[in-house]
């Protein structure tokens, strides 16, 4: 009974991977606001109906792709120093969003955010909670001091992100 289920899982994971890759290519080529479900289905070689069944509309699809683009199951930094962990984690986020396609996905996610279910940064907040567990630092402090300035700059001032951004922001929370 389990083998067919496993096969189905493998096939739908492959379909999802090809849809994600099609969305990223099209966002890069055309800009997020001109990406439609029929275009994505054609590029991914899948039936538009199955894309519509999963997401309903292009905005929800792009937001969902933006959500899962940073692998939520990757290991978090664990150096023994909260400051070093936060710097490594923030630097990874900065590096990710300095790629124009990822910034475009975040902007597209921002456009459809604001309701509980459409929040493409939920996983980053969950990671922050893991990192600060058992410390005096709160998730809210990490959100305001580290995540928010990175996200603001990705969206509005992408050229202002550099190799020092992560250290500079974490320094405000936990000075060296």
Q: Which residues contribute to the site for a copy of itself (CB under 8 A)?
A: 32-33, 59, 103-104, 107-108, 110-114, 119-121, 143-145, 147-149, 151-153, 155-158, 169, 172
Q: Give me the least distance between CB of 88 and a copy of itself, in Å please.
A: 19
- Contact at 8 Å (CB) between 35 and 27? yes
Closer CB to a copy of itself, 40 or 112, in the complex: 112
- Contact at 8 Å (CB) between 67 and 109? yes
Q: Give me the least distance between CB of 89 and a copy of itself, in Å please.
A: 17
Closer CB to a copy of itself, 16 or 113, in the complex: 113
User: How far is residue 1's CA from residue 159's CA, in Å, rounded to a whole number?
Assistant: 53
Q: Give me the least distance between CB of 126 and a copy of itself, in Å please.
A: 14
Pure H helices in 78-159: 82-98, 100-111, 122-132, 139-142, 148-156
Residue whose structure tokens are 């292009």: 58
Closer CB to a copy of itself, 33 or 92, in the complex: 33
Helix 148-156 vs helix 100-111: angle between axes, to the nearest 10 degrees? 100
Q: Give me the least distance between CB of 160 and a copy of itself, in Å please.
A: 9
The answer to whether the Cα torsion of 29, 31, 32, 33 is positive or negative is negative
Closer CB to a copy of itself, 21 or 118, in the complex: 118
């Amino acid at each position: 009974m389990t083998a067919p289920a496993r096969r189905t899982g493998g096939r739908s994971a492959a379909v999802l991977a090809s849809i994600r890759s099609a969305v990223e290519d099209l966002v890069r080529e055309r800009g997020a606001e001109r990406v439609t479900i029929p275009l994505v289905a054609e590029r991914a070689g899948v039936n538009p109906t199955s894309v519509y069944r999963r997401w309903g509309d292009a905005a929800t699809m792009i937001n969902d792709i933006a959500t899962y683009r940073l692998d939520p199951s990757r290991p978090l930094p664990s150096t023994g120093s909260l400051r070093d962990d936060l710097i490594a984690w923030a630097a990874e986020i900065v590096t990710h969003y300095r790629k124009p396609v990822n910034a475009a996905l975040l902007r597209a996610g921002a456009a459809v955010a604001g309701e509980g279910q459409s929040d493409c940064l939920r996983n980053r907040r969950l990671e922050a909670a893991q990192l600060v567990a058992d410390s005096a630092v709160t998730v809210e402090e990490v959100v305001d001091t580290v995540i928010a300035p990175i996200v603001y700059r990705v969206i509005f001032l992408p050229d202002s992100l550099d190799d020092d951004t992560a250290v500079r922001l974490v320094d405000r929370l936990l000075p060296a």
